[in-house]
């Protein structure tokens, strides 16, 4: 399992050390420690109320941690006010100043910098070019579309060339088409400026495509930190496995370990599952075997001599064009999700299985994820 913290290996640029934030008796953020390297595009992913926005607001300086310290570029920022931090934020609502033009909005933060008027307007121009808004410099925010406002907010947040840029649901208010486009634009800008980005999002797809690393948060606690690939293929606990994508989970008991293989007896699968693991859980301990729907093969005939084979009946079928989603009922009554790519062009009769068909499901030992908590 490749859960090594690549951020910690390089000198950490942002270091969050045991940070806790309580509002009354509610622990919004509970003892979070995190190291983020320079130039990373880091995502805080979680549902609403998981503490991701509170953590972001503490990085910006709008909230003070109840406990713990925050370092940015080696400097202790914990008690600095927002206007003294080398950090800028792009707000979820964009928070553009309604009485100022696009140009004035972008140039606002530069008033506090030691620049000549010529340098200032040059910087504003450069920022507007970066987000491709030069021709709208004189407009007021209410004369712009949602996507244009988002770009003004981004240009404004980048104008002071911060060491760290915080983005609160940067694509949340955009429609689907614009999101996809903006996503790549955001990555492109991050690449060109080299500024470290921390993105807060509840959208796992957004986090997966944007980020170099993701921290999955739940109820104020970080449940896993890793690259999108690690988070998806090697979830370290049930919450992360369940939160990211869809997954089948089977309860079981370890009956044998050794040789990089663990045998788990799963009553719902009416048999033993072989899972390839580095860890050696104790014999007799309760575990969960988790398998992604697309890692399961569905066939009409029994696969020859394979391991992890189980029989069932197709209960439900969803056809999405490029792939199909099957809900297969096992003999134990348990429902399993299977995702199968429609590789062959065919009419309905040519599909792998139909409603009420008897099918065989199988998956590789290396596809099985063993979860202990």
Partner 1 sequence: MRDWFNRRGWRDLIIATPYAWLIVFFLIPFLIVVVMSLAIMKSASPPFGFHEAFPWIDLGNFARLFQDTLYIRAFVSSLINALIATLLCLLIGYPMALGITRVSKSWRNILLMLVILPFWTSFLLRVYAWIGMMGSNSWFNKLLTSIYNFAVPSEWALKSIPMMNTSFAVVLVMVYSYLPFMILPLYANLEKLDTTLNEAAMDLGSRPWQVFRDITLPLSIPGIIAGGLLVFIPATGELIIPSLVGSSANPMIGRVIADEFNSARDWPMASAVAVALLFLMVLPMVFYNHYEAKAQNAGGKP
As a whole number of angstroms, the distance between CA 227 and CA 337 comes to 25
As a whole number of angstroms, the distance between CA 225 and CA 209 comes to 16
Closest to partner 1 by CB, 62 or 355: 62
Answer for which of 60, 70, 130, 216 binds partner 1 (CB under 8 A) is 60
DSSP string, 112-138: GSS--HHHHHHHHHHHHHHTT-GGGTT
Residues 6+ apart with CB under 8 A from 305: none
Residue located via tokens 């995190």: 34
Query: In whole angstroms, how close is the CB of 111 to partner 1 at the nearest point?
Result: 8
Closest to partner 1 by CB, 160 or 334: 160
Binding segment for partner 1 (CB under 8 A), chosen from 149-157, 178-186, 273-281, 295-303, is 149-157
Strand order in the sheet with 67-72: 26-36, 14-23, 67-72, 75-76
156 near partner 1 (CB under 8 A): yes
Closest to partner 1 by CB, 45 or 164: 164
Answer for which of 46, 141, 293, 312 binds partner 1 (CB under 8 A) is 141
Closest to partner 1 by CB, 156 or 213: 156
Cβ 268 vs Cβ 224: under 8 Å: no
Output the CA–CA distances (angstroms, integers) from residue 299 to 248, 262, 313, in the order listed.
18, 25, 11
Binding residues with partner 1: total (CB under 8 A)? 28
Per-residue binding letters, 76-115, with partner 1 (x by CB under 8 A): -----xxx---xxx-x-x-xxxxx--------xx-xxx--
Strand bridging mode 358-362 / 297-299: antiparallel
149 near partner 1 (CB under 8 A): yes
24 near partner 1 (CB under 8 A): no
Closest to partner 1 by CB, 123 or 295: 123
Binding segment for partner 1 (CB under 8 A), chosen from 43-51, 123-131, 138-146, 269-277, is 138-146
Residue located via tokens 């109320």: 49
Restricting to residues 160-179, name those near partner 1 by CB under 8 A. 160
Query: In whole angstroms, how close is the CB of 75 to partner 1 at the nearest point?
Result: 17
Closest to partner 1 by CB, 91 or 234: 91
Tokens of 230: 């690690």
User: 372 in helix, strand or coil?
Assistant: coil
- Rounded to 5°, angle at Cα 6 from 5 and 7: 90
Radius of gyration of the chain (CA): 25
Which residues bind to partner 1, rule: CB under 8 A?
A: 60-62, 81-83, 87-89, 91, 93, 95-99, 108-109, 111-113, 140-142, 149, 156-157, 160
């Amino acid at each position: 399992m490749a859960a090594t913290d690549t951020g910690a290996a390089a000198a950490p640029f942002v270091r969050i050390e045991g940070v806790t934030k309580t509002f009354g008796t509610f622990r919004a953020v509970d003892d979070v420690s995190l190291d983020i390297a320079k130039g990373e595009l880091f995502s805080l992913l979680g549902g609403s109320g998981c503490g991701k926005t509170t953590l972001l607001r503490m990085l910006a300086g709008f909230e003070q941690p109840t406990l713990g310290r925050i370092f940015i570029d080696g400097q202790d920022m914990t008690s600095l006010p927002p206007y003294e931090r080398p950090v800028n934020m792009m707000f979820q609502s964009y928070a553009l100043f309604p009485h100022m033009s696009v140009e004035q909005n972008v140039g606002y933060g530069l008033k506090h910098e030691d620049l000549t008027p010529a340098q200032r307007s040059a910087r504003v121009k450069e920022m507007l070019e970066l987000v491709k808004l030069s021709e709208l410099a004189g407009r007021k925010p209410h004369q712009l579309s949602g996507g244009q406002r988002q770009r003004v907010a981004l240009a404004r947040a980048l104008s002071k060339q911060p060491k760290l840029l915080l983005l609160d649901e940067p694509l949340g208010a955009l429609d689907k088409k614009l999101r996809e486009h903006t996503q790549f634009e955001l990555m492109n800008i991050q690449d060109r400026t080299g500024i470290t980005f921390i993105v807060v999002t509840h959208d796992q797809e957004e986090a997966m495509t944007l980020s170099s690393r993701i921290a999955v948060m739940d109820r104020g606690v970080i449940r896993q930190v890793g690259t999108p690939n690690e988070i998806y293929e090697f979830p370290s606990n049930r919450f992360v496995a369940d939160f990211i994508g869809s997954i089948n989970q089977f309860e079981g008991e370890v009956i044998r370990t050794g040789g990089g293989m663990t045998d788990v007896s799963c009553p719902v699968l009416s048999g033993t599952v072989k899972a390839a693991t580095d860890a050696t859980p104790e014999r007799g301990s309760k575990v969960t075997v988790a398998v992604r729907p697309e890692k399961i093969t569905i066939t009409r005939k029994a696969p020859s001599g394979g391991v992890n084979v189980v029989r069932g009946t197709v209960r439900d079928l969803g056809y999405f064009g490029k792939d199909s989603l099957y809900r297969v009922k096992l003999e134990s009554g348990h429902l399993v999700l299977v995702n199968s790519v429609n590789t062959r062009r065919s009419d309905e009769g040519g599909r792998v299985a139909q409603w009420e068909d008897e099918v065989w499901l199988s998956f590789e030992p290396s596809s099985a994820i063993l979860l202990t908590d």
